[in-house]
Structure 1
């Protein structure tokens, strides 16, 4: 299929007239987006597999995909009952059914194409303490939070921190194995006294850790990490329609045939604090 070019008409107002300028806007073929980051609260008896499926449009936006033939995770069939027409597919399961390093498989079918991904359930650790700092290290207008957590000494760990407002950070335990760690994070959002901040710590495997690092590096200046990226970052979801060996699904012969997005099932702890 050939790439198409859309045309945008821009109106520039001047003191005497309106000028119409025609601009050709390059447009890639639509690409499937699968947002399948599943967060599991260990304090809840159940959790929800929640996957958002959409399609890129000509202007880097998203169109919900509401006509999947099927979507499953670990044998659970996800359905679009709770949010009809949204492209959001869900299934509820018992939290006790998840085990550390358990392998989970995502499969979906759309327009006669089959997509496949697998991941391991990644445990996390609680946040020991969350404090508001004085924020004067860089800019007195920034809001500083001081986060303390203790690494699990029995395994190699990767962590993703979600600070809200589309802000994420990553760390691993290469130099803090089994130790307590304290660090500061500075918000540059316009926050006021009485506002609440929620900090979350997600478990991760190395693949998800690397993927988040790439997204953070690409989007740290202008965009949230789960907005459609300006440049394509390959995740762990593959188009396996034309592959004859399910054990080799890295699309070697079809390097451009893959969706955007990532599949991960992670344990998540959180703490909330109010700005004094």
Structure 2
């Protein structure tokens, strides 16, 4: 397999590319930019595109993918596309219609990975997999207890293939990563470059990851950018990293993650940056019995 398209095997036999494009943007960013960024990313070599119903850009992202298929740049099976079930569709009878709505917007026959944010609606998702509307089922923001709850569910048909969580050198999730590995669940990192200054979700006083002097020093040493150091760190830990950018130069640059390696000493320095800084705290959920971030991991 081409170096650019390095993949990790999921527990259901499918493969997920280790580097993905995150397509979320704040509401004030025109949706057309998601389309442009997706096209640029596919041209640059990205084959894993991460979206969600709630991002409200599935039509644009779908259009970009279809234009690259029509242009002969990629085939549908070359693209690994992720969407997510939003919280308003958790009742079992709403799951398939929500997925079908996403597919209609995307104008695709199936998604490669469908993720749920909460430990419900799993049975309905399993039926979507049986119907061929989705290849793999995953979860997002689950802590260890919630993962165990799902894994121990009587009659579980398909184990989640991944757990998509915030993960970067300031929140390296090493305990959750070890647990996921032990259960053959892939950890997918969102906010792998820290987080953009999104005022809606992120505390503006939180430290800027990419300004960290350790990342800066390693970037100098390897003649790369701090962002590439942060992404390479994840890949060497066996984590799938989502890099969110709408900037052409940075989208192309992020592909260089396959061109160099960090030493074990570099990795040790990066491990030492962990300070449990969480950029996305989903404060609206605090106090809910399934709020995932009140436990150690």
Shorter-normalised TM range: under 0.3
**The structure with more strand, counted as a fraction of residues:** 1
Greater Rg by CA: 1
TM-score normalised to structure 1 length? 0.24
**The structure with more helix, counted as a fraction of residues:** 2
TM-score normalised to structure 2 length? 0.23
